């Protein structure tokens, strides 16, 4: 059975290699280390968001508000930076994290304490948070000339040849892995998704675990808010509009089961990478960017079909002769 689990991630890894290799046959530069590092950097934000969404999906919930969260926190820190350019980036990031956490906690509280289904809660907060962005900014944009140099450049600096943005992504990957594999709460997240009733009997507070998952999702979305704004140097109400579906798609492609309890950090990362690579490969092979959406859609469908095959529980094999067949 472990073999099957490994093979889901393995399939994805092979798909990524094939994708890169395929493009590289015509455009060898695509597979160069520099280009691949660039691809990782460009996909970093998606990877971070997919890891955030992953914990929520593992608990059999869903968070449709991540992009709206990102939009709001991004605007908040952009405005903060515009008003107080002297504040160090560390403070900016802290503020982003706190706002993200607050928004995520709001989702989590509604799910935990009131018991509203997560899809309904986040369907609501999706519009609330984005609307609040408008209220906060009065509809105005914040663009590059209002942002301080340190704000913009922080993630672009190179450390040992790798941009800080990529380092942040690697850090989030490492922390997610440690959390989900080595902490009790992380294992609780899996337990809640696999069997919520049994989780209660084992003493796990299901509601609280879901709350924590939403807090994590919010926290990381907040971080992503700062990263997005500083990367694209624009903060507006339209930022990341509809992006939450890309994030969920990345998780689905990565083998995170929408039914909860199944999925790995490696899978989420590779799912995000795969989606990101498609977007980067298209202009390289001269396919019009208008094809990107359809190809992503096809990739998602393919991933679902393949994942379903490996999750399928076979009918009972009772006949002895059928067992050895």
Task: Scan residues 20-79 and list those touching another protein (CB under 8 A).
Answer: 62, 64
CB atoms within 10 A of CB 212: 22
User: To 5 degrees, how large is the angle CA 132–CA 138–CA 139?
Assistant: 90
Instruction: Give every CB contact of residue 183 below 8 A, 6+ residues apart in sequence.
Output: none
Residue 182 binds another protein (CB under 8 A): yes
Q: How far is the CB of 294 from another protein (least distance, A)?
A: 3
Closer CB to another protein, 27 or 177, in the complex: 177
**Shortest Å distance, C-beta 209 to another protein:** 13
- The rounded distance, in Å, linking the Cα atoms of 181 and 136 is 39
Distance separating alpha carbons of residues 11 and 254, to the nearest angstrom: 10
Rule CB under 8 A: which of 199-218 touch another protein?
A: 199-204
Nearest approach, Cβ of 113 to another protein (angstroms)?
10
Question: Does residue 269 contact residue 247 with C-beta atoms inside 8 Å?
Answer: no
Nearer to another protein, 41 or 296 (CB): 296
Q: Which CB atom, from 83 or from 318, has the smaller least distance to another protein? A: 318
Q: Which of residues 252-311 bind another protein (CB under 8 A)?
A: 252, 258-259, 261-262, 288, 290-298, 300-301, 304-305, 308
Full DSSP string of 182-237: HSHHHHHHHHHHH-HHHHHHTT--HHHHHHHHHHHHHHHHHHHHHHHHHHHTEE-T
Select 20 or 247, whichever has its Cβ closest to another protein: 247
Binding residues among 80-139 for another protein as defined by CB under 8 A: 110, 114-117, 119-121, 123-128, 130-135, 139
Shorter beta-carbon distance to another protein: residue 171 or 298: 298
| Under 8 Å between Cβ of 241 and 112 | no
Is 14 a binding residue for another protein by CB under 8 A? The answer is no
How far, rounded to the nearest angstrom, does the alpha carbon of residue 13 sit from its chain's CA centroid? 18
Interaction of residue 6 with another protein, rule CB under 8 A = no
Examine residue 1 and tell whether it contacts another protein (CB under 8 A).
Answer: yes
Site size for another protein (CB under 8 A): 76
Q: Contacting another protein (CB under 8 A), which of 187, 207, 234, 284?
A: 187
Q: Which of 87, 194, 233, 234 binds another protein (CB under 8 A)?
A: 194
Contact between 3 and another protein (CB under 8 A)?
Answer: no
Whole-angstrom CA distances from 84 to 38, 81, 89, 156, 184 are: 32, 5, 11, 21, 40
């Amino acid at each position: 059975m472990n073999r099957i689990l490994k093979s889901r991630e393995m399939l994805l890894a092979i798909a990524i290699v094939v994708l890169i290799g395929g493009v590289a046959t015509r455009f060898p530069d695509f597979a160069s280390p520099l280009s691949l590092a660039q691809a990782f950097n460009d996909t970093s934000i998606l990877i971070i968001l997919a890891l955030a969404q992953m914990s929520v999906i593992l608990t059999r919930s869903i968070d449709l508000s991540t992009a709206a969260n990102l939009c709001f926190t991004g605007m908040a820190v952009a405005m903060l930076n515009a008003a107080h350019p002297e504040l160090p980036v560390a403070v900016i990031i802290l503020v982003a994290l706190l706002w993200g956490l607050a928004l995520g906690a709001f989702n989590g509280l509604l799910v935990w304490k009131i018991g509203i289904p997560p899809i309904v809660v986040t369907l609501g907060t999706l519009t609330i948070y984005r609307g609040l962005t408008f209220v906060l900014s009065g509809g105005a944009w914040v663009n590059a000339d209002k942002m301080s140099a340190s704000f913009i450049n922080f993630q672009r600096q190179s450390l040992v040849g790798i941009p800080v943005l990529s380092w942040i992504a690697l850090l989030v990957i490492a922390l997610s892995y440690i959390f989900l594999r080595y902490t009790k709460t992380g294992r609780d997240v899996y337990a809640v998704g696999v069997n919520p009733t049994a989780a209660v009997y084992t003493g796990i507070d299901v509601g609280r675990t879901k709350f924590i998952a939403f807090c994590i999702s919010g926290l990381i979305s907040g971080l992503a808010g700062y990263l997005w704004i500083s990367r694209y140097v624009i903060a507006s109400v339209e930022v990341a509009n509809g992006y939450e579906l890309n994030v969920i798609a990345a998780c689905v492609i990565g083998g995170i089961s929408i039914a909860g309890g199944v999925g790995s950090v490696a899978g989420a990362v590779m799912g995000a990478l795969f989606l990101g690579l498609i977007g980067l490969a298209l202009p390289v092979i001269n396919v019009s960017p208008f094809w990107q959406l359809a190809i992503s859609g096809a990739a998602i469908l393919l991933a679902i079909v393949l994942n379903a095959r490996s999750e399928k529980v076979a009918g009972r094999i009772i006949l002895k002769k059928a067992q050895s067949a």
